[in-house]
Amino acid sequence: MRRTLAALALAAAVLGAVLVGRALLFRPAEPSPPPETSFEADEGRAATHLAEAIRFPTVAHEDPERFDAEAFAAFREWLALKYPSAHEALEREVVSDASLLYTWSGRDPSLSPLVLMGHMDVVPVDPGTESEWTHGPFEGVVADGFVWGRGALDDKVSVVAIMEAVEALVGEGFTPARTVHLAFGHDEEVGGLNGARLVAEALEERGMGRAALVVDEGGVLAQGLMPGVEEPVALVGVAEKGFLSLALSVRSEGGHSSMPPRETAISILARAITRLEEQPFPSRLDGPARWMLEAVGPRMSFPARLGLANLWLLEPLVLRGLNAGPSTAAMVRTTTAPTMIDAGVKENVLPIQARAVVNFRILPGETRDSVTTHVREIVSDPRVEITPASPFATDPSPVSDPEGPGFRLVAAAARQAVRDPGLPVAPYLVVGGTDSRYYADRAESVLRFVPVLIRPDDLSRVHGTDERVATRDVATAVRFFHALIQGSDTL
């Protein structure tokens, strides 16, 4: 017995030493230094232009009847006024009445093009919350080191930064080796079906072929979002989750509330939703989520490094920790979110019908069909009808190579833009969706990144109250796109 205990103790000591040793050797990779540049963005000019852009209420509404064509037309004219050199050097066309496609012809037409994306539309402001903003959502104010207003982060900062960079490059006499397309959608916030989708189809119809690289929004400079990592980390989206909304509907006979049956339409529906929440999709740590943790893990606190350096043994514990928080759980599983419910017409009338919408963000490796099948199995009630809630739905995107030339170019441009050759750059799974989905099969690499700094208290500002971006981050974004376009010759 003593020998057995001694052997077990020795094995535990050896295992502990292995785990600790691997954690101590878990160190950041040495980044390649970015090329030097003398370019300096005009922070004041870029911030002022972004503030002016915000003043155009280019709101995307689910109801197409509410589309404000005049606001988008005025914004297009403003772009032409503010960026005359770019408009002289690039060909501009309006697609689907409101989206913009610019073409900057390259010196070598045999090279696959670069596509830089952004979107001009913004989400509405919740009625009645306008007074809660420090500055009005469409006032476009520069104050206290920030540009304030709807679209500051999502996503007029991309449109303005790209145009600032192109204007500067044209002024420098630069002509790209490969053709550069600027694709600015007008309906990204409602799925991009009439904007980015048609722009991508137009490029395909005219023989663009596969783009060498597509860069859109989605990744950011994150600070304070990972345990033990105080420095900013560039999270570059190499993939994005799919999108599916399912409607769960129940019909019953109705009647007077004084004589209720054992189950009503509402209670049947409620139980179905509860089953879905209590039996979430399985979690797994692979692909972009694993790559991100492997890249950032060496900079985390020692307990986190201990787990991440020893996933071969401790992966279940790491997954349990990731599933404890909404933002990290979204990285490792298909999420389930009841978002809408409708039932009843009067307090003393049993509803004839109850309907709920449940939204799913689909992890790479799963599909809309597999998610629907899973939902039917979990609900397992023939009284609950399950149907698509809207025509818009997508499978997860393909995953771009985090070691390919496109990723290396974005990483170098990010380090150059923030003036930090040691900036950690990590692959990332975008848990939302972007217009880049329409280029998934039309490009060698699709990446999602804009170098604006996001801290924990900024997360609620995206689509929320007091959306803002630091003026220095606007200048950083201009430097990023300037470097990206210049460096695209090397792809």
Q: Interior CA angle at 64 toward 63 and 69, to 5°?
A: 130
Look at strands 91-95 and 99-104 and give their pairing. Answer: antiparallel
* 155: annotated active-site residue: no
Angle at alpha carbon of residue 415, lines to 414 and 421, rounded to 5°: 170
Identify which of 434, 405, 441, 448 has the alpha carbon closest to the alpha carbon of residue 204. Answer: 441
Q: Which of 155, 164, 167, 188 is catalytic?
A: 188
Q: Which residues contact 303 (CB under 8 A, 6 or more apart)?
A: none
> 397: which 2 tokens?
């995107």
Tokens of 13: 């000591």
Peptide bond into 441 cis (omega under 30): no
DSSP 217-241: SS--EE-S-STT--S-EEEEEEEE-
Q: Which two tokens stand for residue 263?
A: 């189950």
Q: Any bridge partners for residue 350, and if so which? A: 255
Can you give the length of the chain in residues? Answer: 491
| Cα–Cα distance for residue pair 33/16, rounded to 1 Å | 37
Amino acid at position 41, single letter:
A
Between CA 153 and CA 190 the distance in angstroms is: 17
Q: Is 121 a catalytic residue?
A: yes
The H or E element spanning position 372 is helix 368-379
Name the 3-class secondary structure at 157: helix
Place of tokens 């969706």: 433
Residue pair 163/99 in contact by the 8 Å Cβ criterion = no
What gap in Å lies between CA 172 and CA 166, rounded to an integer?
10
Selecting among 52, 121, 187, 467, the annotated active-site residue is 121
Residues annotated catalytic, as ranges: 121, 188
